Structure 1
Amino acid sequence: MTNPLTITVEEMLEEKNKILIDLRSPGEYRKGTIDNAMNIPILDDEERAIVGTIYKNESRESAKITGIHHVSARLERMTSQISGLLKECPCVILFCSRGGYRSGPLVQLLNSLEIPVKQLVGGYKRYRQVIIEYFEAPMKVNHSFIVIHGYTGCGKTTLLKQLKSEGHPVIDLEGLARNSGSVFGFIGHSKEKMTQKQFDSLLFHQLIHLKNQYIIVESESQRIGDITIPREIHRQMVAGKHVLLHTTLDLRIEQIMSDYWGVLEHDEADIQKALGDLVKFLGHEKIHQLQQMLSQKSYREIARELMVSYYDPLYCHSIKKYAYDLEITYDTINEAHKKIKKYIWQMTDNFGVSTEENAFNTENVSD
């Protein structure tokens, strides 16, 4: 018989209008949670450590009693907060690590007070298992990708943002990872470090939302900074359709200035350090020159030198690994935008999915 106070992970994923509450400690929450879940911890990090030590060194019963003592101090506030959330949304789901001692008793208590919340069966552990099974099952993971390639500064990220704003099925992997994958990958991204678990969660939700559509991504190696793209997803990216962008070095430099001008001075100390990490590639003399340019705020000159001496040679090998379904040479980013939109429309039409279903707007698309 189905328990009316519980909901499975699969049912939760299908539920469109819901509020998820992560009852775990702030430290557990930061390492990874369910997409869009809010943290209302039953125990803070210190309290959780204390209860865990008692459980290990004394007994389960002693740990329970200590946990109840800590929870009781904040129970009234939690009850009021969760009750308020039910006024915003009729489906409020609580979860802890395994769907056990933290979420179970609280869900029972709240329902006894006529606060109708549900408990996620298996908790966060079960949710993680569903994600892992999804990424590790080749027959289940069956996405089609259009992959955009090009040297640094050719506007790949700008194009992704434009296409996404128009309703195209885009996943910005670097945005999810908060890193662009190189020694300067932190520039322009949030300082808050992305964990592998949270990246997996964000990617999983975007993939299941887009389902069978052609998904537009930027070309990436399997690793983006400290984050790893799941192997099966990366394999399908490699097996996808590939588009190569070409433009001049001067236009690429201007694109870099446009993308990063607002953060260059703010991140100057970190950029100095990153330049130091390139000594083994460029040598001490070249790095010293670049660091002097940075102190003089000669950003365009730095961008030009790094492209010619570091980025272009680095990416030349990876670009040559692919046979391209389309190559676009352009003088303005808008020109590239129109051409890639036309290609996406053609691929979607051939794929047998209506443009309406994919929210593709083909107006003003020209050769």
Structure 2
Amino acid sequence: MFQDISVEELLKLQKDKQFSLIDVRSPSEFKESTIPGSYNIPVFNDEERAEIGTLYKQVSVDAAKERGLEIMSAKLPAFVKEFKQLEGNKVVFCWRGGMRSRTAATVLSLMDVHVYRIHGGIKAYRKLVVDTLNQTRLNAEALVLHGFTGTGKTAILQQLQKEGYPVLDLEGLSGHRGSIFGHIGLNSHNQKTFDSLLFEQLREIGEAPYVLFEAESKRIGKVVLPDFLIEKKEEGLAIVIDMPIEERVTQIMNDYRPAEYKDEYIQAFNRIKDRIHTPIAAEIGRHLSEDRFPEAIHLLLTHYYDPKYDHSSRHYDESKQLVVHVRSTTEGVQAVKELVNQRF
């Protein structure tokens, strides 16, 4: 038979064994939020789940169970085959560790596929994540990347993360770049997904003596940062990335890919154009409509983003700032590495 495990036991398993996490909820539930790294092999699709839910509420529990058994029986061979294709031990879960995960685990056990089932399901995992984040107090020193829009701060952090440095990529975790244009071309995450990804990234960092992240506002897209990160940002060492505006324009072209999402960028610009001096806003609009994106970006930086950054950065303590002058993100990565090596 299958074995029930708690979410705390799941975290221990993740350290010691290779296994596959399988969310057996419907595709829409999986899309809304799941445990990071999970596969979705649903017991019922969205339509089937709705049908069974209606029977449960309007007819009877038995009628819902009978219909569920009928649906599940028809898909058993394909269901089991999908599980067998996954490597390592299998861990299944549903919303509360109830009927769907129990059914999946029982069927798989009968087919000699050993599985664990998470007691309490994703609801228990979500509670652990929220409780942990509410109680988190980072002991690590914060090295916080600042700088004008387009200085490649996220690219620098992502490269450092690839090389094993302790990084919190807050824009990556939120699926948003943090500006009026920040959602375009990305899959913005909701708060549940952000919290789970942050929880997992904090576990990876562990007891590192420092952590690198970008100076973000309290809200990034759809998500709100926890207070402990805002506090760390305020007290941390500010590493200000200074880069020539021409290089910043190139970086933005690479990151935002305006030619692919022209209409969406024009729509987003229309939401802020009233905040820009009217003749300049009109010129930016013309450049965007004529596919002259570098010119539009240059004007947006000069007349909108740079003044905003200057205003917001005035309250930072200059004694806690280190300015690094670079000509590319590659130089930025190297500069941050050198600062880290000097301090640790």
TM-score normalised by structure 2 residue count? 0.91
The percent of aligned pairs where both chains have the same amino acid is: 35
1:364 paired residue number: none
Letter in 2 for 1:199: F
Report matched runs for 1:155-234 at 5 Å.
155-187=152-184, 189-190=185-186, 192-213=187-208, 214-234=210-230
CA distance in 2, matches of 1:248, 1:113: 63
CA distance in 2, matches of 1:25, 1:270: 31
1:357 paired residue number: none
| Structure 1 residues 313 and 34: alpha-carbon distance in aligned structure 2, compared to 1, 3 A threshold | same
CA deviation profile, 1:161-217 (whole Å, cap 9, x unmatched):
332232212222112222111111134x43x34222112211211111111212211
1:341 paired residue number: 337
- 1:316 equivalent in alignment to 2:305: no
1:244 aligned residue (212, 215, 240): 240
3-state SS in 2 of match to 1:145:
strand
3-state SS in 1 of match to 2:21:
strand
- 1:291 equivalent in alignment to 2:321: no
Letter in 2 for 1:21: I
3-state SS in 2 of match to 1:243:
strand
Q: Check conservation: 1:144, 1:237, Cα contact below 8 A.
A: no
| Structure 1 residues 144 and 9: alpha-carbon distance in aligned structure 2, compared to 1, 3 A threshold | farther
Runs of 4+ in 1 over 6 A off after TM superposition: none
User: In angstroms, what is the RMSD of aligned CA positions?
Assistant: 2.1
Letter in 1 for 2:223: I
Q: Check conservation: 1:144, 1:212, Cα contact below 8 A.
A: no
The runs of 5 or more residues in structure 1 that have no matched partner are: 350-367
Q: How far off is 1:302 after superposition?
A: 1.0
| Structure 1 residues 177 and 23: alpha-carbon distance in aligned structure 2, compared to 1, 3 A threshold | same
Letter in 2 for 1:163: L
Deviates more, 1:301-310 or 1:4-13: 4-13
1:145 paired residue number: 142
Letter in 1 for 2:196: S
CA deviation profile, 1:91-122 (whole Å, cap 9, x unmatched):
10010100011111331232233221111111
Q: Check conservation: 1:243, 1:325, Cα contact below 8 A.
A: yes
CA deviation profile, 1:310-351 (whole Å, cap 9, x unmatched):
10122223222222342223345444433321211233x2xx
Deviates more, 1:62-71 or 1:332-341: 332-341
Deviates more, 1:322-331 or 1:215-224: 322-331
TM-score normalised by structure 1 residue count? 0.85
Q: How far off is 1:228 after superposition?
A: 1.8
Deviates more, 1:321-330 or 1:118-127: 321-330
3-state SS in 2 of match to 1:102:
helix
Letter in 2 for 1:8: S
3-state SS in 2 of match to 1:74:
helix
Letter in 1 for 2:261: D
1:235 aligned residue (206, 231, 235): 231
CA distance in 2, matches of 1:331, 1:113: 60
Q: How far off is 1:279 after superposition?
A: 2.8
CA distance in 1, matches of 2:94, 2:260: 39
Letter in 2 for 1:208: R
CA distance in 2, matches of 1:335, 1:80: 49
Matched pairs, number? 338
Q: Check conservation: 1:143, 1:211, Cα contact below 8 A.
A: no
Q: How far off is 1:9 after superposition?
A: 0.9
| Structure 1 residues 259 and 106: alpha-carbon distance in aligned structure 2, compared to 1, 3 A threshold | closer
| Structure 1 residues 304 and 12: alpha-carbon distance in aligned structure 2, compared to 1, 3 A threshold | same
